[in-house]
Amino acid sequence: MTMMRLRREDPRVVGNFRLHRRLGAGGMGVVYLGSDRRGQRVALKVIRPDLAEDQEFRSRFAREVSAARRIRGGCTARLVAADLEADRPWFATQYVPGPSLHDKVNEEGPLSAAQTASIGAALAEGLLAVHDAGVVHRDLKPSNILLSPKGPRIIDFGIAWATGASTLTHVGTAVGSPGFLAPEQVRGAAVTPATDVFALGATLAYAATADSPFGQGSSEVMLYRVVHEEPQLMAVPDALAPLIHACLAKDPEERPSTLQLSLRLKEIAAREAHGIGEGRPPSPRREPDRPSARRAAEYERQRTERRPGSSPTPRPGPAAAGPAAQPAPAGPGRPAHTRPMPGRDAARAGARTAPGARRTGPDRGLLRQRLIVFVVVTLLVALGIAAAQGCQGPSHSQGHARTAPAHHSAP
């Protein structure tokens, strides 16, 4: 939170508090950093002189401060002290160290879906305590949310719009960000807890996109959009967009209750934190796991063994012994099998088939031997056939030629 030196016109002591710095100024007055005699730091707001002269404002202000005293919960800045009868009424709340949500987003950019949902769940829980005390915040916006080390804190609850019917005359000064006003506030209608739900929806949209859901423009343009146009939520993560859209319904009756909003945001925050959010564009999707080459080869081997008409193929081992088998084509997961050989040849075969050794096909020496045997046998068979034909070929053919006509001419 930005601090500024005290100006000449600023008071130095208010009530039992000594003032040290300016924390800011708003539609109701100026906020100071103060401390009491024990060193407890407070944020003390002094009401503007013109509002202090308005008796209706004083009465309304007194009722709101009385209700604020009853608020319990860790998500709000606790009211410490107030003087409603002073020339310029004032109240002091617990000082919350940390930047506002507006400043954080403005400096660092949009928050993630998980961060937005987590902050929103805490704020919704804080609003539950505010509403249970009979108070409606009326001015919930990013600059009224402080991000302390212990979690977000709501400030200025139930006071900024204490003027009631004069809402529109103070839009430019009391709020400063008309894009966070609910339509009923713009029309001057009664506010309800649903009014804060609308403001929280707009605040969460800002946290997730770094912009108001109704864009930018003059106060008049922004107020018109709030009442007549739909919010722009294209940049909001899918995990949050439906809920935020429901919060920004024009009709207060169509918005979720504060309790429903709190429960839903907690669910989203838990899911996003564990990386299982539904439809989160900002979160990268994991590619499906692809099997390695070894797993693919093993799968292919098992699939081949299960194929109809095939028999299980034993894995090769050192000096494997077994019945003779025909050579099989080598391939992934299908080692070639050879006939076992005794003595030295068997030892060499065992060395070739040791575990981990790469085998690309049958042994070349064995293939050469089989090829020679095949050629020799083929030549011997061919020579035998030729010799047989040479011994009895001519007489057989002539005899056959002489007897064939007599056979066919027989009656």
**Stronger pLDDT, 69 or 296, i.e. the higher one:** 69
pLDDT band with cut points at 50, 70 and 90 for residue 321: very low
Q: Which residues make Cβ contacts (< 8 Å) with residue 23, sequence separation at least 6?
A: 1, 2, 3, 4, 31, 32, 33, 43
Q: Residue 341 pLDDT > 50, yes or no?
A: no
More confident residue, 73 or 119: 119
139 catalytic per annotation:
yes
Catalytic residue chosen out of the listed positions 103, 132, 139, 156:
139
Range name among 89-93, 130-134, 240-244, 267-271 with the lowest pLDDT average: 130-134
| Overall average pLDDT of the 197-210 stretch | 97
Q: What is the average pLDDT across 313-323?
A: 45
* Percent of all residues in the chain with a pLDDT value above 70, rounded to a whole number: 65
Query: Cα-atom radius of gyration of the chain, to the nearest Å?
Result: 45
Answer yes or no: is pLDDT of 391 > 60: no
| pLDDT for 362 beyond 60 | no
Taking the C-alpha atoms of residue 144 and residue 284, their distance in angstroms, rounded to an integer, is 33
Question: Which residues are annotated binding-site positions for ATP?
Answer: 45
Using the predicted structure, report yes or no on whether residue 408 has a pLDDT greater than 70. no
- Annotated binding residues, as ranges? 45
CB within 8 Å of 276: residues ≥ 6 apart: none
Which fold would CATH assign to domain 13-273? Transferase(Phosphotransferase); domain 1 (1.10.510)
Q: Which residue has the higher pLDDT, 1 or 322?
A: 1
Angle at 51 between CA 50 and CA 57, to 5 degrees: 150
Tokens 């966070």 correspond to: 180
pLDDT of residue 61: 79
The token duo for 231 is 């919010």
Between CA 366 and CA 345 the distance in angstroms is: 11
Query: 151-154 and 145-148: which strand pairing?
Result: antiparallel
**Site of tokens 């945001």:** 265
pLDDT digits (tens, 9 = 90+) for 65-79: 887 788 877 788 888
Average pLDDT over residues 328-333: 46
Ordered by start, the domain boundaries in the chain are: 13-273
